Structure formats: structure tokens, C-alpha cells
Structure 1
Amino acid sequence: MENFNINKPRILTWNIHGSYLYYLSLGDYIIYVPYNANRSERYIGRGETYPYGSNVIEIPANEVRNIDFDIVLFQCDENYFADQYDLLSEEQLLLPKIYIEHDPPWEHPTDAIHPVVEQDVTVVHVTNYNKLMWHITVPDVRVISHGVYTGNTLYKGNLKKGIVVINNLPSRGRMLGYDIFQKVREEVPLDLIGMGAEAEGSQEIKHPNLMEYISQYRFYFSPIRYTSLGLSTCEAMMIGMPVLGMSTTELPSVIRNGVTGFIDNDIDVLIDKMKLLLALPTLALGMSHSTREQAKNLFSIDRFVSEWKALFIEKLTQKSIRYEKKENSLY
């Protein structure tokens, strides 16, 4: 019988979204990430940004075909259409496959056909909104909502400013709400942190220090028009920080207007609410407990990693059953 590792699944994936990989790595399984000599895009290995544990093992890309894995976990189209064929052996190409869809469709919001059509691949969405909008033709489609861990950091809100956490915001334009950010900042004190926005006074804060850093700000603002639910939004809520943003995509399902923050599609309304929170710190502090409780209900890290491990074991069990049937048919 094949060497299935049911109790401690061995997962091959790529380091595409470092924060997601970090939270995924908090589960009871082993994750292998490839790297190449240049540590180029998709092949950076563990990297130096996140405090991964010993269960995240980086391996040379040219050695992938010589290592035993149980599951291949894709996180972008390049992984699925190119990387697997560059790295995997013929035997490894037959392993169970899962594709994480981190984003809603870009080409068309409702009619875009998902590129994964291989019928035995499981597609996992990170939000129900993603699942709703993608036209997917494979039978096994799941949703595993985000899980985050913020330690003992709690919201303080003593700094009379709002904070935005987005990488490369200027280059990502209207979809990520760069114009909205600029408009709001004309009327409300607003800082931006993240890579690629130095011209906006932005700086990059390493993930282990991020929660303590943003906890000082009065509120968190997401100017994004169209995206999946950002992990930084979940993290802000988990420390008890009021969140403001557009009333679009998944955000209406996680923000209770006037209780855990404010959402609206009228930017002027949001600006008024920001000014209110800046003027009344007690209002922001009053929202903090409700925000944190909402986040604990929605974004439990224990729920998140348990759902992932259950899916890994389910996929391995299915493969084991198919293998046994094939073995028995030979006799």
C-alpha cells in the first residue's frame, strides 16, 4: 500500500501570500515550500518576514521530485499551470490536489470561468463572496474562511489617526481604492503602511510587530472597492479595532454597522464617521469589545486550521480508498 501519512499530512505548496501561509502553518501538518537560487517570485522558501515554526520546511526546487508528499496545494494560476509540471515527478502529479482561490474574478465579476477544470481538484475559496462570483465547473468547491492569531495585543486607540494596511497601494489603483485613500486623507489624518508606497509616507512593518503598531490608531480603514477579505482587516478586528470600509464584497458580512465599525458606499458618510471616532474616543473604545467578539466568532485560528486538516485527511482517505480498490481488483 502507498505510504499515506494520515495523521501528519505532508503538504507541498508555494509561498505566495506570506501572512496566509503563516496562519495555515499553525495547524498540525507539515508544509514544504520550494526555493531556488535567486529566491525569485513564488520560490522564496520561508522568507524572512514571518515567524514560521519548524513544520514549515524549505526545500530546493530541484529536489522536490525526490521528496514524499501527500498533497499538492496550489495558491495561484502559475502554480497550477506551470510550477507543478516543472517540479513534480510523474508519480507526484497523481497526488491529491487542492487549489486555494484567494481572489474574486478579475476579468468579469460574475461570468468569469475559473481556470481549474480538472474534476478531481478541490477548489477552496477564502470567502463566500468569492465562491458566489466565480463560475466554477469542478464538483468539489469549499469555503474555508480566514483564521488569524494576534496574541495578547488589544486595541488602545490613543493615536488620533486612522490606519490603512495595503501593500503597493499606488500601483494597484482604483480596484484597491488608491483614489479613495487620497480623497479621505485630504480631510482625515490617515497613515498608510505596507510595501511599495514610500511616496505616500508609508513604511513596512514586519508582521510580528504589526498588531502592536496598528493598535495605537483610532480606527482601521479599508478603501478597497473589489477584493477578497484582507487578512489585515481580520487582524484589526481581532484586537478590537473599529473598521471602516466600502459596503462591498465580503465586508458587509463581517462588519455590523455602528457596532463593530461603519460601512457605506458613500465616501462622505465614511469621512463623517471617521471624524466622529476621532472626536469621541469613548465611542471607538465602546465598539472595541463587540469588534473583538465578532472577530473571535468569525476568525478563530483553531477553527481555521482544524478545517484545513480535516480537508487534508479527507483527500488522503479518498485516495487511500481508491488505491485499495485498485489493488483488490488485481486479485
Structure 2
Amino acid sequence: MNILLWHVHGSWTTAFVQGPHTYTVPVLPERGPDGLGRAVTFDWPASVVERTPRELRSAEIDLVVLQRPHEAELVTRWLGRRPGRDLPAVYLEHNSPHGDVPDTRHPMADRDDLVIVHVTDFNRLFWDCGHTRCEVIEHGIVDPGHQYTGALARSAVVVNDPVRRGRTTGTDLLPLFARQGPLDVFGMRTAGLAAHLGLSEDRCRVADLPQARLHAELARRRLYLHPVRWTSLGLSLLEAMHLGLPVVALATTEVARAVPPGAGVVSTSTTELADAVRHYLTDAGAAEADGARARRAALGRYGLKRFLADWDRLIDEVAR
């Protein structure tokens, strides 16, 4: 089956394209947001092919996976087919709602010609999708292997754009955790974070690394810190669990279901979380043991085989 989707979320797409289909991604000369084409920093199989808008006009597409509201108009313009009416379609919702929560209306609400797929039960609960059919297909992760050493007594944080996103990503909480021990913040657009928070460079280091190097560096840190207040379930958290890191996380959105007891500490109390960071930094044995439990939990719930099987069941239903 030939599936059209945009390269929007590199980590999620990396898992999705491991399936048995052909995956067509639009490409534009400038490789902007609507035409990134194949990933550069992720390992994608040869079954992912690039097509220009002109090539898409004559391409055989069996299903489109929409991820942003304006993509429906792009499909109509580039393919000459309306998603949901002339072309089978699902709308993948990566994000928790913003705005008038919990009354936020989904852009695809009250439609009978497509299915909204949420990546967490939390997202399904909080989006108002009207009478549109909704399904939940939880994340799947390409297993990077148990790489944990915890050799560096530092906390690892993965977040993009932490200065701009501020309270959403818990950036304001980082000085509290930095007082328990040094932080290494990985992600895009992290430059200037330490100065913004008034922290020394040694207390808060930042780095933007490709995926393969990121996994190796995460595995050297003692614990994974997830201070995010409001977002969908971060794939970096699940990747850290796969690597074997224990988790210290705010008990918000889907985290409480993703991180079971014994795999780390999950709480809405910043005092409890600060104590947990300090505990793991000083007790390498406890960190290693809880990290091993985190890995087992992640493999059991967020394994690639289950993820692809769930998607194939829905694809067969919608496209055939």
C-alpha cells in the first residue's frame, strides 16, 4: 500500500515507516515545512520515497495520513483529490490541546469521512472531536538497545525551544533541579538557556545532537528528567526508558500511565521530584535498578511490533 504523509515529526515517523508499505513524503526545492522530504538525521528505509507536488498528481496513493489542518488543502491542490472523500484519510493528532482546555475543539471535529488517531488516551480525553470517530494508537519506538551506564552524575533533559516555550516545557523549574545536581539539556534551539536561567555553564550545559549521538549521550547520564507541564507524551522520554534510564517526571498528561512504579519517580510535587533527582545522583545502584525496570516497561508497552500491528489494522480497515 502507498501511504502519503508529511515529514512533520521525525521520531514518530521513524517508527511508522518501519512497516511493510511504501511511504511517500512530499519534497519541495527549499525543503521547508511542507516539503522536507526524507529525514537527514534519522535512519529511514528505502521504502520512504520523495515526490514533488507535480509527481504527486499522477502518483498512486492509497491512504493519506494528515498531521496538520492545512495538509487537507495541500492534498486537494497537489493530487486533485479530497482527503476523506476521494482518498481514504486519517488525521494523526500528535499534540495535547492548547487554548480553552478542556473545551478545545479539534479542527477535524464532526466529520464522518475520516478517523482521528490520537497518540495517547489523555489526548483523546481532552480534545473535543464532536462525532468524528477517534482511535488511540500509542507510540512505538525503534529499540536503541540497553545502553545505560549512568557514568555521569548529571540529569539529562530533552526539550526543543525551551526559552520560548517557557512554562509549557517546565523551563522555569530547571534552576530548582540544577541545585540538586548539574543538568545537560539536549534539543533544538537551546542556545542561551543557561544565561536565560541565570545558571553557570557547568550547571546547565546545552547541545543539539543527531539522534544516534543523542542516544549515546543520554545513556551516560544518571537519570532522565522530564519537567514538562503540558504536552503530549514525549518520545524522548520513551527513548530514555528504552535506553535504561530511570525517570523523574511531572505527573502531567500521559506520563503517569507511561512510567509505572519502580521505573522512576512521577509526582506533581516539585519537592518530591527534587529529592528524587538528588537520590539518583548519589545512588548509582538505585538509578541502574530503576532504569532497568523502566526499560522493561517501555518494551512491553511501547514496542515497535505492537505499534505497527495497531496501525496495520486501522490502515486495512480505512483504505480497503
TM-score, normalisation: structure 1: 0.89
CA contact (8 A) 1:150 1:211 kept: no
**Structure 2: which amino acid aligns with 1:51?**
D
CA contact (8 A) 2:4 2:25 kept: yes
What is the SS of the residue equivalent to 1:215?
helix
The whole-number CA distance in structure 2 between the counterparts of 1:125 and 1:110 is 16
- 1:204 to 2:197 alignment: no
The verdict on how the C-alpha distance between 1:129 and 1:77 changes in structure 2, with shifts beyond 3 A counting, is same
**Structure 2: which amino acid aligns with 1:165?**
V
The whole-number CA distance in structure 1 between the counterparts of 2:244 and 2:206 is 23
The whole-number CA distance in structure 1 between the counterparts of 2:176 and 2:287 is 22
CA contact (8 A) 1:188 1:271 kept: no
CA contact (8 A) 1:164 1:190 kept: yes
Alignment length (residue pairs) = 307
> Which residue matches 2:231?
227
Which of 64, 77, 87 is residue 72 of structure 1 equivalent to?
A: 64
The whole-number CA distance in structure 1 between the counterparts of 2:281 and 2:7 is 38
- 1:277 to 2:268 alignment: no
Which shows bigger deviation, 168-177 or 201-210?
A: 201-210
**Structure 2: which amino acid aligns with 1:85?**
T
> Which residue matches 1:291?
294
The whole-number CA distance in structure 2 between the counterparts of 1:60 and 1:186 is 51
Q: How does 1:140-155 map to 2 (within 5 A)?
A: 140-155=133-148
> Which residue matches 1:190?
183
The whole-number CA distance in structure 2 between the counterparts of 1:142 and 1:119 is 14
> Which residue matches 2:268?
265
> Which residue matches 2:255?
251
Deviation at 1:91, TM superposition (A): 7.0
Which shows bigger deviation, 226-235 or 285-294?
A: 285-294
The whole-number CA distance in structure 1 between the counterparts of 2:144 and 2:236 is 14
> Which residue matches 2:199?
none
Deviation at 1:140, TM superposition (A): 1.9
CA contact (8 A) 1:220 1:244 kept: yes
Deviation string, structure 1 residues 54-108 (Cα, Å, up to 9, x no partner): 111111123211100000110112223x322332213776111100000111012
> Which residue matches 1:84?
75
Structure 1 vs Structure 2 CA RMSD: 1.5
What is the SS of the residue equivalent to 2:237?
helix
CA contact (8 A) 1:51 1:208 kept: no
Deviation string, structure 1 residues 113-166 (Cα, Å, up to 9, x no partner): 111033121100000000011111244210000000233342111110000011
> Which residue matches 2:41?
49
What is the SS of the residue equivalent to 2:172?
helix
Deviation string, structure 1 residues 163-208 (Cα, Å, up to 9, x no partner): 0011111111111111112332243211101110122342111112
CA contact (8 A) 1:29 1:309 kept: no
**Structure 1: which amino acid aligns with 2:16?**
L
Between structure 1 and structure 2, the one with the greater Rg is 1
Which of 293, 308, 311 is residue 308 of structure 1 equivalent to?
A: 311
